[in-house]
Amino acid sequence: MNADGRAATGSARPIVLIGLICAVSMTTIDQTIVALSAPTIQRELGLTHDGIQWAVNVYLLAAAGVFMLGGRLSDLYGHRRLALIGIAAFAATSLLCGLAPSGEGAETWLVTARALQGASGALMVPAAVGIVVQSYPQERRGRAMAIFFAITGAMTAIGPIAGGFLTEWTWRSIFWVNLPIALVAFVLVAAGSGPSRRESGRIDVIGAVLVGAGMTLLVLGLEQAGSWGWNSVGVWITLIGGIVAVALFLIWEPRAADPLVRLAAFRSPQFSIAILSVLVASTAFVPAFFFLSVYGQVSLRQSALNTGLLFLKFFLGFVIASRFGSVLFDRSGAKRVLLLGGACGATGFWMLAAQAPHLDFDAGMFFNSQTAAIALAGAGIGFLYSPMSTDAVNRAVGASYGEVTALSQSARSFGGALGLAVLGSLVSAALQTHIVDSFTALGIPAAAARSAAQMVSGADSGSDSALSALPAELAKSVRTAVAQSYADAVQVAFAGMAVAMIVLVVLGVLYPSSRRATQSLLPTRRDGSVMREVA
């Protein structure tokens, strides 16, 4: 390590950067890869609709609840050490996910393993970003961070595409593929990174419990509102409990001797808007994959592999726009990135919401009536996602590497979980209404319609086994009704994503016009002394 404390030097930097990109890409891929395979997993393991949605959402929720603790542990015990522990733990929990048994106990196994997987990623990511920041001098750090965030962010979109191919073999491979990637990442980081700084201090256990409980209760309440109903006492007790826990966390942290995060960073309006924009963008970005997956398989009647075409369109828009967004960010700062990205994404998602109910087109063709809308929606998020993550790091004057990354990644994961919960609840309610109306028109009892609505999650329309006993013509009518009902219901989700992108435009208007951050992260302890180096 150099005298200024960088964790890697010279020719070792690219090696470490590649290893860290591999490591963090596993976590971003696993945010979305399960969405495409969800119907197959549900069918083969015999999961409920709520169970498979929790298998998708609990990963994000666990990550959001642990990121701040992970950032603090990284500062206390060293970025290199926590990164290696996180990589190893992520590989082990990925193996557990792939070993989930079918039948009784499958739901508990998979949801628990996914929660542990999300927590493992939350230990790894703040440490990984800390190593990147420490490894490069300030004049080269911006480019390294841009490469890091652009590639790992793009992996979020690649996940479902890869999942389509892997699921054709076995859905378990979407988890097992992490094992060789983790091995490569572990070797490169262990071999290329040197000692890293660490602070002295203690873990803010109270803060960690409060923020974890608050985020969990908030998302749980929103998630269950669809099945319990908004008039449920349990929903409101859960939501109020979450709000109280978060409020207590905000009260406690400034008074804690060794706070989990220093909330003073939010005194910077640029930093606050950057973090908020990451959260808001994530409420559209992560849920887009889940709802596109179900829409493709239920409404468009495509296989998991062919549904990957929807994600490919989204991914191409994301990647191309990400490049232009990074260039504009370097030249003009975050304000224009937010304005243009938000406007582009809002237009794309609104077009998709308008087109979703119209199923009379060739869904198997790459270029069709929905291609432009999906690509434009992906472009809007790609334009701003990586730049705003980088801007958050640049703007957090005086904060530690672990803290800033933890805040940014917590916002990303919590935003994704929040979007899935809220939009999922709205789509579920709309689906109930549409299916009851459609089934009633076919002379099918409302009770059967409600049961069908609960089953719909993409697995052969969720009801093929029941349809086999019906006359052929009636079974065909039921399939058509289910497909159209979900297409009508998912409009709500795509419209909600458009609203989220409009909020980003508003944040762009509010973003102060100053172009660049004037200071960088400070490699000092909270008492102002220099951090010592550890292996």
Amino acid present at 192: G
DSSP state at residue 475: H
Q: What was the pLDDT predicted at 453?
A: 61
Q: What was the pLDDT predicted at 141?
A: 64
Residue recorded with tokens 């262990």: 190
Distance CA 295, CA 302 (A): 9
Residue recorded with tokens 């804690």: 256
Q: What was the pLDDT predicted at 450?
A: 63
CATH T-level fold of 12-203+258-437+481-513: Growth Hormone; Chain: A; (1.20.1250)
Distance CA 132, CA 126 (A): 10
Q: What was the pLDDT predicted at 463?
A: 46
Q: What was the pLDDT predicted at 348?
A: 97
Q: 10 Å Cβ neighbour count for 100? A: 24
Q: What was the pLDDT predicted at 462?
A: 42
Q: What was the pLDDT predicted at 460?
A: 42
Q: What was the pLDDT predicted at 461?
A: 40
Beta strands per DSSP E along 65-212: 196-198
- Which uninterrupted H or E stretch holds 168? helix 138-169
Q: What was the pLDDT predicted at 307?
A: 80
pLDDT tens, residue order, the chain (535 aa): 443 444 555 556 788 888 888 888 888 788 777 767 777 888 888 887 677 778 877 887 788 778 888 878 887 888 888 999 999 999 999 999 999 988 778 889 999 999 999 999 988 888 887 788 777 776 666 677 767 776 776 676 676 677 777 877 888 988 998 999 999 999 998 887 766 666 666 788 898 889 888 888 887 887 777 667 778 898 899 999 999 999 999 999 888 888 877 777 788 888 899 999 999 999 998 889 888 888 988 889 887 777 878 888 988 898 889 888 888 887 888 899 999 999 999 999 999 999 999 998 888 888 899 999 999 999 999 898 878 877 887 776 656 666 777 787 778 878 887 888 889 888 888 888 888 888 777 777 666 666 666 655 433 444 454 445 556 666 677 778 888 989 999 999 999 999 999 999 999 999 987 655 444 444 434 443 333 333 3
For the full predicted model, state whether its pTM sits above 0.95.
no
Q: What was the pLDDT predicted at 133?
A: 75
Beta strands per DSSP E along 474-521: none
* The two three-digit tokens of residue 168, written as one number: 């054709």
Closest to 418 (Cα-Cα) out of 261, 248, 284: 284
Distance CA 332, CA 516 (A): 8
What are the boundaries of each domain within the chain? Answer: 12-203+258-437+481-513, 204-257
Q: What was the pLDDT predicted at 10?
A: 53
Q: What was the pLDDT predicted at 41?
A: 85
CB within 8 Å of 260: residues ≥ 6 apart:
68, 69, 71, 72, 204, 207, 208, 211, 253
- Concatenated DSSP letters of 416-465: HHHHHHHHHHHHHHHHHHHHHHHHHHTT--HHHHHHHHHH-SSSGGGTHH
Q: What was the pLDDT predicted at 180?
A: 93
Distance CA 240, CA 288 (A): 28
